[in-house]
Chain A
Amino acid sequence: MNAGRRGPAAWIERFFGPAPQQGMVACRIAFGALLFSSYLWKGPWIEVLYGPAGMGGSELAARLPAAAFGRPIDAPFRWLAATDSLMIVYAAWALLLAASLCFLLGYRTRLSGVLMLLLHASFVARNQYAYFGWAWMAKAFVLYAVLAPSGRWVSIDAWRSGRVAESWSGVGWPVRLLKLHVCTMYAVAGLARLEDSAWRHGEMVFVAVSDRGFARFDIDWHPFAAWLEPFSYAAFVAEPLAPLLLWVPGLGAVWAVLLLLLHLGLELLTHGSWWQWLMMSALLVFLPPRWLEVPLGAIDAVGSRVFRRRSESPG
């Protein structure tokens, strides 16, 4: 990189330059686990949610196309909606589970990641109502993890090859793109709240934990409403400021931890589909790389030992 260059050329060079990949490796594992878990959870409902005779399926579309589920924007992925075969739907589901597991473990990482992403997009296109908004955000986040060399470390691909990467450095633009996208997510969500009276009055945590559609605990939170206000204001401040503060050296790591705790707290009190898990997974890319080396190194040590034993065992 030319240290003397300034301005837009330098920014572009910096954007496409190398970056530490610990965060992206952690994201790969987290995103794979997220998609595997979410689709496993849907197992009992595959026929109803996605089958030809399921809600908004091809059987209805044959009689009344307008009533079939699906948005025009998802047209390239609507092949599941067109099939008349339940077996194909189940096969696609099983393939998605397998691909997400492979992506998590780093086996044929890029191929399994592409397959996982395409199948996830296909299931979302078939029945968007089976998901909350996390499923749309996840597509882009996972795409960045697929484009990054996230399978080069802490992966079956690496352990099988026996090669040891010299450093954690790799192509940086997918990492930076994921960071940018996490920030735009917080910007959109955070700025919208400035106009919401429940947020401005510190009522939103009460709203969240009182909504029995999503609250885990059957508690009348009204007597504690005032105690919940500080947490509501904390989120009201933390999220709109995230797009700026996550980039500040030192402070960015603190803010990432703050947001992680916010999402974890929400997940403990409510079951907002998989939103909190998605955001916690994506925030890993903002943590200092050396923090992630400890857990990743432990996994790498175990994996390397297992595959070295396999290669050394007779037969």
Chain B
Amino acid sequence: MLIVGAWPYHAAPFIGAPASWASRGLGKLSIVPGMPIFNAGHPAPVEWKLRASCQRIVGVRANGDEQVLYAPECPPTGFQSGVDSFKVMLLRLARASSERQLLAASAASGASSAGPARRSRAVRRYTALGDWFCRASEAAGTRFPIVKLTQQRQHQSYESGALRASPVLVCRWQCDEEPAPLPRCERLPADAEAAIVGGSSS
């Protein structure tokens, strides 16, 4: 089953079905034949390579003042011996979640908190993210009406070494929304005031 399940079934139609079955069968035992790790994932030559994924999370008070809840230096400077597990989790959440799904869900839901908006995996993940920051802040003694995430990626050109920042994704959660705050996201230009790549944060 390992050998059959490891076959690239999309590349070989005759073994595709057995490979898929073997892979799924092993999956029932939580066993994977292998993982296509460490791929850039680009289908065509792409000049710009990912240099940093930046996230900045703030609590927004009723008067508009912001308090930084999570804002690691981005890109990090100096030697990094390792990445703490919390940062790993946020990095994984961001990289595993489709910005397109988040934006589509925000556009579709409007003021409503029910329906298809809840169903996409990206929305479910980001709901958990926003909910935790809302409740953790409250447990620490400060209740914020809104928690805001600013997310951006920095890329470097393989040809010239130049740097470029992606459009900013801004997501907001209404902390008092029941049963849990949904992310409402929008995309802003890379040079928007909320841009975070290239600056250090507390």
Contact = CB atoms under 8 A, between A and B. Distances in A.
Given A56-B128, A67-B180, A73 B28 contact: yes
B164 interface: no
A203 B151 CA distance: 26
Nearest to B92: A129
B178 to A, nearest CB: 8
Interface string B29-60: 01111111111111111100111110000000
A254 interface: no
Contact of B79 (A53, A189, A218, A273): A218
B52 A211 contact: yes
A216 B49 contact: no
In which size bucket is the chain B interface? 35 or more
Interface string A190-219: 011101111101011011101111111110
A139 interface: yes
A70 to B, nearest CB: 10
Contacts of B92: 129-132
A187 B37 CA distance: 11
A191 B36 CA distance: 8
Contacts of B82: 41, 271
Interface stretch (A44-52, A102-110, A156-164, A305-313): A44-52
A206 B158 contact: yes
Nearest to B179: A63
Contacts of B202: none
Interface stretch (B3-11, B100-108, B142-150, B187-195): B3-11
Contacts of A225: 158
Contacts of A136: 30, 32, 35
Interface string A133-173: 10011011000000000000000000000000000000000
Nearest to A222: B161
Given A210-B156, A212-B52, A218-B78, A68 B33 contact: no
A45 B183 CA distance: 24
A12 interface: no
In which size bucket is the chain A interface? 35 or more
Contact of A60 (B6, B77, B131, B178): B131
Contact of B128 (A55, A74, A133, A222): A55
Nearest to B139: A53
A137 B118 CA distance: 31
A54 interface: yes
Contact of B42 (A67, A137, A196): A196
Given A130-B89, A184-B3, A273-B88, A63 B180 contact: yes
Contacts of A177: 2
Nearest to A215: B80
B78 to A, nearest CB: 5
B83 interface: yes
Nearest to B6: A184
Interface of B is mostly: loop
Contacts of A216: 79-81
A210 B34 contact: no
Interface of A is mostly: helix
B77 A129 contact: no
Interface string A63-92: 110111100011001000000000000000
A22 interface: no
B1 to A, nearest CB: 10
A114 interface: no
Contacts of A199: 39-40
B30 A121 contact: yes
Interface string A212-254: 1111111010110100000000000000000000000000000
Nearest to B91: A213
Nearest to A45: B85
Nearest to B27: A73
A203 B49 contact: yes
Contacts of B50: 207, 211, 213
Contacts of A198: 39-40, 42, 46, 49
Interface in B11-37: 11, 27-28, 30-37
A15 interface: no
Given A49-B86, A129-B92, A181 B33 contact: yes
List the 3 shortest-distance A-B pairs measured between CB atoms, nearest first: A188-B34, A222-B161, A192-B36
21 contacts: A45-B84, A53-B136, A59-B135, A60-B131, A63-B180, A64-B127, A66-B124, A67-B131, A130-B88, A137-B34, A139-B31, A192-B8, A195-B43, A197-B44, A211-B49, A211-B50, A212-B52, A216-B80, A217-B79, A218-B77, A271-B83
Given A56-B128, A186-B34, A216-B81, 6 more contacts: A64-B118, A64-B180, A132-B37, A137-B34, A207-B50, A223-B161
